[in-house]
Amino acid sequence: MSATILVVEDERKIARLLQIELESEGYQVQVAFDGLTGWNSYREQVVDLILLDVMMPVMSGIELLRRIRSEDEQTPVILLTAKGAVEDKVSGLDLGATDYVTKPFEIEELLARVRAALRNSRKATVQASPGEWLTIADLRLNPATREVYRDERGIQLTQREFDLLAYLMRNQRLVLHREQLLTEVWGFDYAGDTNVVDVYIRYVRKKVDEGFGQELIHTVRGIGYVLRESV
């Protein structure tokens, strides 16, 4: 069954272009021209991915993202942001956006990011035994229930942060190159640069390392990262 994508974009020409290109790739596409209509469309149907413009009338994309993430941490959301809108990008990532594309964008890049987001979302929903826990020191992660605990304290992660930490934990004590993390967590056809890995490592570190007795995520200068207990 083809994936259903919700496009929330107030510029009708862009929305129509996205609809045509996505449908030509075999996706089912729903379109909303403002944030409130987008929210209602999201509540009325099951969607597999959302393309969300940030600057919109009635309800901004950031507010819509906030509402979605208040009840749904899984559905991939790719933000469409204005060039140079760093604050919007940071706010979106902090609220749990999966990715972002800067306008004007190349349609091939956007389609690649859509494929990567859908693929990683499907990986995350593959059934695993609820009893399976990945552990290192006092950090525990359950791939099935998507629970994370450090020193028995619950930790809330976005979908991308969870996927990154899960990959690190499955490969603990192995030095992982940035390119390897990008391929395995973001997808082989991800069109961004490797700096996004550093950004998300920083996010995960802040949640799982800061304030605890020992650091578990270590930088290997010039190569990448490794998850291991301090020696």
Q: What is the per-residue DSSP string for 88-146?
A: HHHHHHHTT--EEEEES--HHHHHHHHHHHHHHHHHHHS---TT--EEETTEEEETTTT
Q: Tokens for 129?
A: 């035994």
Question: What is the model's pLDDT at position 127?
Answer: 47
Query: Given this model, what pLDDT does residue 189 score?
Result: 58
The CA radius of gyration of the chain, in Å to the nearest whole number, is 18
Task: Tell which residue, 139, 146, 170, has the closest CA to residue 74.
Answer: 146
Amino acid at 19: Q
pLDDT at 219: 94
**Same fold flag, 4-125 and 134-227:** no
Q: Which residues pair with 41 in a beta bridge?
A: none
Q: What is the pLDDT of residue 22?
A: 95
How many of the other CB atoms lie within 10 Å of CB of 223?
12
**pLDDT value at position 51?**
96
Closest CA to 31 of 55, 50, 56: 50
**pLDDT, position 166:** 93
CA torsion 26-36-93-174 (nearest 10°) is -40
pLDDT at 146: 84
The pLDDT of residue 24: 93
Q: Does domain 4-125 have CATH number 3.40.50.620?
A: no
Write out the E strands in the chain: 4-8, 28-32, 49-53, 77-82, 99-103, 134-136, 139-142, 147-150, 153-154, 176-177, 217-220, 224-227
Task: Report the C-alpha dihedral over residues 104, 192, 184, 226, rounded to 10 degrees.
Answer: -140
Assign domain 134-227 one CATH number from 3.40.50.720, 1.10.10.10, 3.90.550.60, 3.30.930.10: 1.10.10.10
**Rounded-to-integer distance, Cα 175 and Cα 195, Å:** 17
Cβ contacts of 164-170, under 8 Å, gap ≥ 24 = 164/200, 164/201, 164/204, 165/141, 165/204, 165/208, 166/134, 166/141, 168/204, 168/217, 168/225, 168/227, 169/134, 169/135, 169/136, 169/139, 169/141, 169/227, 170/134
pTM: 0.60
Instruction: Give every residue of the chain whose pLDDT is below 70, as ranges.
Output: 1, 83-85, 123-131, 188-194, 231
Domain spans of the chain, in order of start:
4-125, 134-227
Q: Which residue has the tokens 């149907």?
A: 45
